[in-house]
Structure 1
Amino acid sequence: MNFHQLHIFYTVSERGSFSAAAQTLHMTQPAVTMQVQALEDYFGTKLFNRTTKKILLSEAGQMLMPYAQRSIELMRETDQAMSAFTHMLGGRLQLGASLTIGEYVLPRLLGPFGKEYPNISIMMKVMNTSQIMEEIHKHQLNFGLIEAPVTHPDMVIEPVMGDELKLIVPRDHPLAAKHEVTLEEALQHPFILREQGSGTRSVMEEQILAKGLDLASMRIVMELGSTGAVKSAVEAGLGITMISTSSVKHEVTLGLLKIVNISDASLKRQFYAIHLKSTLLPISAVTFLTFLRQHSLDSL
């Protein structure tokens, strides 16, 4: 028995068929079948009950399943623990990132990462969460980075870094002279927001509702499909917004926009990594995610 066989057994169970497991593992179906049979020979019992339509875990397979799962979790933990010592790693990472992460967060982190791990190349696609999940399922991406947690039976979702939304106003706005305001005071002004369903907008709306304030009373003068468009509209004096501080560092440095603290609301949030349960990430991907967890956005 070896870890490879346990991983194949686990994947067949998770995916529900030998053909689907073969696709996930980038193996041929006969090779997957052979490895499962070798594991069954080792234990001297059948691990799956096979029918013409589907396969189900046998009683022995049900007993083995939690041990196989624990072995995969232990391998992931091992990779994470050893990632600090793998500076000569090479390889190509293919990842998806949602809009704020891909356009404003990762570019500031890729430079330091590249200096520390010069032989790892990264190919990043900026897209929405559903597109990221679809491409992960098709094995076109190793993993994704998203702005809000999702639930999916085939996916592992884990936090990797924190972020915070703040009130962003034009430099000549009446609120620009204040260090902080209450949430209710901020909501008295016209707002420019990301589109409905965006991670950024969801965090803001949850906090407004948590404070017992009325979302319908907000004066929303514009809804835009990108953070860049929101920033430009705010800079032009069309309204104020709440977006990630990571996305406005350049404009704040130039004095084009002003960050105002909200005294009575916490708009902190997590960014999440997402990947298939049945797929072990390459050590280069584990190293990249470990790097993200260890670096504060405020320090860059």
Structure 2
Amino acid sequence: MNFHQLHIFYTVAERGSFSAAAQALHMTQPAVTMQIQTLEDYFGTKLLHRSTKKIELSEAGATLLPFAKKSMELIREADEAMSAFTHMLEGRLHIGASLTIGEYIVPRMLGPFGQEYPHIHMAMNVMNTTQIMDDILKHQLNLGLIEAPVQHPDIVVETVMQDELKLIVPSGHVLAKAKKVVLEDVFKHPFIAREKGSGTRQVIEDGLKNRGVDASRLSIVMEMGSTGAVKSAVEAGLGITMLSPSSVKHEVALGLLKIVNISDITFKREFYAIHLKSALLPIPVVTFLSYLRRHDQGGDVFGDPVDGPAGMKEEENVQ
């Protein structure tokens, strides 16, 4: 018996068929069948009951499954623990990221990560959550970073970063000069919103709902399909908005926008990493996940936006 056989057994049990397991493991179906038979020969008992429609665990298979799962978890934990020591890693890291994460957060991490792990080649696709999930299920991506949790029986969802939306106003706006801003003040001004269904829009609506406030009280005058478009509209004085401070560092440093705290409500959210449940992640992916956990929104990578020339220089260097 070896770990590879346990991994195959676990995947067959999770997927419910040899063909689905073979696809997930990038193996031929006969190779998967052969490894299961070898494992059954080792234990001297049937682990799976095969039928034309589905596969069911035998009593022996049901007994073995928790041990197979524990072995996978142990390997993952070992990879994570050792990733802190493997600075000469080589390989390719291909991830998918949703809009805010892909455009404003991950790029600021690539410089420090690249310095720490110079031999890992990174590639990132910015796309919506549905596309990321599809590509992970098709084994075209190892890892996805998304702004809202998802549910799928074949996908693991893990919180890796935290964020908080803040009120964003033009630098000359009346709210930019106020000593204290409350939620009622927000409702008095034209509001620029992301489109319905976006992660940012959902966080705002959920935050208001949790306070017992109807989101329709926002005086939405425009809906935009990207964070960049929202920022441009606010810069032009067409309204105010709520965005992640990570997305406006450059504009704040240039004095175009200002971040304002709302004293009586917060709009917090979490960012999530997703990957295949049955897959053992390559060590470069494990290393990047560990890096994310160490440098979340509260860490030194994402410090608060800074004003003045030093802030502008820092922003230019990380882009």
* Residue 42 (structure 2) aligns with: 42
**1:284 aligned onto 2:284:** yes
- Determine if contact 1:46/1:60 at 8 Å carries over to the other structure: yes
Instruction: Indicate how the Cα distance of structure 1 residues 179 and 122 shifts in structure 2: closer, same or farther if over 3 A, else same.
Output: farther
Instruction: Indicate how the Cα distance of structure 1 residues 190 and 228 shifts in structure 2: closer, same or farther if over 3 A, else same.
Output: same
TM-score, with structure 2 as normaliser: 0.92
TM-aligned CA deviation for residue 127 of structure 1: 0.4
- Determine if contact 2:156/2:275 at 8 Å carries over to the other structure: yes
- Determine if contact 1:46/1:61 at 8 Å carries over to the other structure: yes
- Structure 2: gaps of 5 or more residues: 302-319
* Residue 71 (structure 2) aligns with: 71
SS at match of 1:220: strand
* Residue 293 (structure 1) aligns with: 293
* Residue 166 (structure 1) aligns with: 166
C-alpha separation in 2, matches of 1:22 and 1:15 = 10
C-alpha separation in 2, matches of 1:224 and 1:180 = 28
TM-score, with structure 1 as normaliser: 0.98
TM-aligned CA deviation for residue 296 of structure 1: 3.8
- Determine if contact 1:179/1:261 at 8 Å carries over to the other structure: no
**Superposition map of 1:41-190 within 5 A:** 41-190=41-190
CA RMSD of aligned residues (A): 1.1
* Residue 212 (structure 1) aligns with: 212
- The amino acid across from 2:200 in the alignment is T
C-alpha separation in 2, matches of 1:294 and 1:193 = 31
SS at match of 1:123: strand
TM-aligned CA deviation for residue 179 of structure 1: 4.5
Instruction: Indicate how the Cα distance of structure 1 residues 234 and 89 shifts in structure 2: closer, same or farther if over 3 A, else same.
Output: same
C-alpha separation in 2, matches of 1:251 and 1:47 = 61
- The amino acid across from 1:218 in the alignment is L
* Residue 255 (structure 1) aligns with: 255
Q: List per-residue Cα deviations over 1:40-86 (Å, max 9, x = no partner).
A: 11111111110112211111111111111111111111111111001
Identity %: 71
Report the more deviating stretch, 234-243 or 174-183. 174-183
Following TM superposition, the consecutive aligned residue runs of length 4 or more in structure 1 with deviations greater than 2 angstroms are 296-300
TM-aligned CA deviation for residue 23 of structure 1: 1.1
Instruction: Indicate how the Cα distance of structure 1 residues 67 and 180 shifts in structure 2: closer, same or farther if over 3 A, else same.
Output: farther
- Determine if contact 1:5/1:39 at 8 Å carries over to the other structure: yes
TM-aligned CA deviation for residue 240 of structure 1: 0.5
Instruction: Indicate how the Cα distance of structure 1 residues 127 and 35 shifts in structure 2: closer, same or farther if over 3 A, else same.
Output: same
C-alpha separation in 2, matches of 1:66 and 1:201 = 40
SS at match of 1:222: strand
C-alpha separation in 2, matches of 1:81 and 1:139 = 25
C-alpha separation in 2, matches of 1:180 and 1:22 = 60
Figure out how many residues of one structure are paired with residues of the other and give that number.
Answer: 300
- The amino acid across from 1:52 in the alignment is T
SS at match of 2:102: helix
- The amino acid across from 2:73 in the alignment is E
* Residue 30 (structure 1) aligns with: 30
TM-aligned CA deviation for residue 195 of structure 1: 0.8
TM-aligned CA deviation for residue 184 of structure 1: 2.2
* Residue 196 (structure 1) aligns with: 196
- Determine if contact 1:184/1:213 at 8 Å carries over to the other structure: no
TM-aligned CA deviation for residue 180 of structure 1: 3.9
- Determine if contact 2:98/2:127 at 8 Å carries over to the other structure: yes
- Determine if contact 2:186/2:218 at 8 Å carries over to the other structure: no
SS at match of 2:67: helix
- Structure 1: gaps of 5 or more residues: none
